Structure 1
Amino acid sequence: METSAPYFLLFRTNLLLASLVWLTACDSTPRERQEIVRQEARKLDTLADKAAVKLRAAGRRTMQYDSAARVRKSQPLGKAAEASFTKELLGTYSDFQSINPDNVAAAYTQFMRQVRAKRRTWTQRDWDYADAIYKHLNERRRAIRLDIRASDDVRIKSLQAEYLALENGRDLKDYGQAIGNKPAADR
């Protein structure tokens, strides 16, 4: 929305300029109209320059954010920290091999309960650990998928969709903060 505002202002200014020139055409000389056009053109140039400065700054911040994200993601997750996170998020289901068709929906429910409770305080690195756990949980689900009841599978898919929405919402919030937009309310 913010990037389209300068274009709207340019359009509005052009419309105002055309109206002003047309309305004053009868009461002014060509030299006066020419000066009005010059003044309005200077205003348009100033608006365009300001918009270009903002876009360049946002572009630089975007590149810095992307670079930092690539560096963070290239660093391997610590095994001890991942095990701790797994225990924290999955509780009694932290041993993935113990997850079976009868308790897989409960494991996802436990995972999402903890994600909902802790997500507001998580850093991007914490989300990396949660992602790793989520992937392991999905791998286990795929291994036993043929034995999962349909009602449990529907429940699991809704929890997966919720997790992805929360994670993407956090990514968008962090990205918006990195490029200088006001942060959206954390859901």
Structure 2
Amino acid sequence: MKSFPLILATSLLSISAAVAQQKPATTTTTTTRPSASSTATAVERDLRIFADWVSDKVSRTADDIARETPKVAEEFDRQSRRIDKAVDSLTVEGKREYSIQKKRYSAWSARQDSLDRAARQPETAQQSQDRLLGEKVVLGRARATELPDLYARFIETTRTQRRNWTATDWSNASAVLSRLNARYDQVREQLPLEERVRIRSWQGEFRTLEKARDVKGVMAE
């Protein structure tokens, strides 16, 4: 026959086991926070969007972008602020790319401001000529040997700046070319055939670029 203490201990153990089975399991609630990797992915996506946006804007002409300038500046501020908040999550390459894109936009924006100021203060004929030729020249007294270099400067300026030219800029450039051509007709016999061929080529290139600009304007309308 079992002793009373043993029976009591056995009963207590049974009661404890029953209570443990009935006690509901404790649940732990955790708060999910964005991981560093998800933040990095988001800011990298924002950087790609920003880079595409900058490329689109800097490739457009002054005429196309002039009426949108205030909105463009606001959009730049919005996108850059968004990236700035998580810029530390970018890789070294990402930070470098972000810096490059901001510099591209800054240079483009400064150029737009310069063009706007120029539009408010139209160039004189002499100023246009000086800008297109890269120096002050009295074309009526230019030597024959100077003309190939003057034509070369003129066409190089046209190639590099024409995408931002207005109708007035094209008109001014055409007038400068006419003055160059007038002097060329006076002294061309003093030039070797090779130089005359080069000058004829540059004359034709300008007219081709000018016509291409006119065609683009008609299609835009």
Output the TM-score relative to the length of structure 1.
0.51
1:132/1:165 Cα in 2 relative to 1: closer, same or farther (>3 Å)?
Answer: same
Instruction: Give 1:63-78 correspondences, 5 Å limit.
Output: none
Distance 1:79 1:135 in 2: 20
Deviation at 1:112, TM superposition (A): 0.4
Q: In the alignment, what sits opposite 2:213?
A: 170
Unaligned runs of 5+ in 2: 1-120
Cross-structure match for 2:180: 137
Provide the rounded CA distance (Å) in 1 between the counterparts of 2:217 and 2:171.
14
* Structure number, greater radius of gyration: 2
Pairing 1:122-133 to 2, within 5 Å after superposition: 122-133=165-176
Q: Displacement of 1:117 after TM fit?
A: 1.1
* CA pair 104-79 structure 1, distance change in 2 beyond 3 A: farther
Write the letter of the residue equivalent to 1:173.
K
What is the one-letter code of the residue matched to 1:157?
Answer: R
Distance change >3 Å, CA 107–CA 134, structure 1 → 2: same
The correspondence for 1:114, drawn from 139, 153, 157, is 157
TM alignment of 1:6-45, pairs within 5 A: none
Give how far 1:122 is off: 0.3
Query: How many residues align structurally?
Result: 101
Aligned-partner Cα distance in 1 for 2:170–2:134: 18
Q: Deviations over 1:67-97 (max 9, x none)?
A: xxxxxxxxxxx99521111000012363203
- Percentage of matched positions with identical amino acids: 29
Equivalent residue letter for 2:168? R
Ranges in structure 1 where 5+ consecutive residues have no aligned partner: 1-77, 179-187
Aligned partners of 2:153, 2:167: CA distance in 1, in Å?
A: 21
Residues 158 and 93 of structure 1: CA distance in aligned 2, closer, same or farther (over 3 Å) = farther
RMSD of equivalent CA atoms = 1.9
> In the aligned structure 1, how far is the partner of 2:122 from the partner of 2:192?
33
How far residue 159 of structure 1 moved from its aligned partner, in angstroms, is 0.6
TM-score (norm 2): 0.43
Residue 41 of structure 2: aligned partner:
none
Deviations 1:16-61 (A, max 9, x none): xxxxxxxxxxxxxxxxxxxxxxxxxxxxxxxxxxxxxxxxxxxxxx
Q: Offset at 1:154?
A: 0.5
Asked whether the 8 Å contact 1:104–1:141 carries over to 2, the reply is yes
Of the two structures, which has the highest relative contact order with CA contacts closer than 8 Å and spacing of 6 or more? 1
Amino acid at match of 1:105: P
Q: What secondary structure is seen at the aligned counterpart in 2 of 1:94?
A: coil
Q: Does 1:158 align with 2:206?
A: no
Alignment partner, residue 144 of structure 2: 101
C-alpha contact 1:93 1:107 (8 A) present in aligned 2:
no
| Paired residues for 1:45-56 under 5 Å | none
1:96-127 CA-to-partner distances (Å, cap 9, x unmatched) read 03421111111100100111111000011110
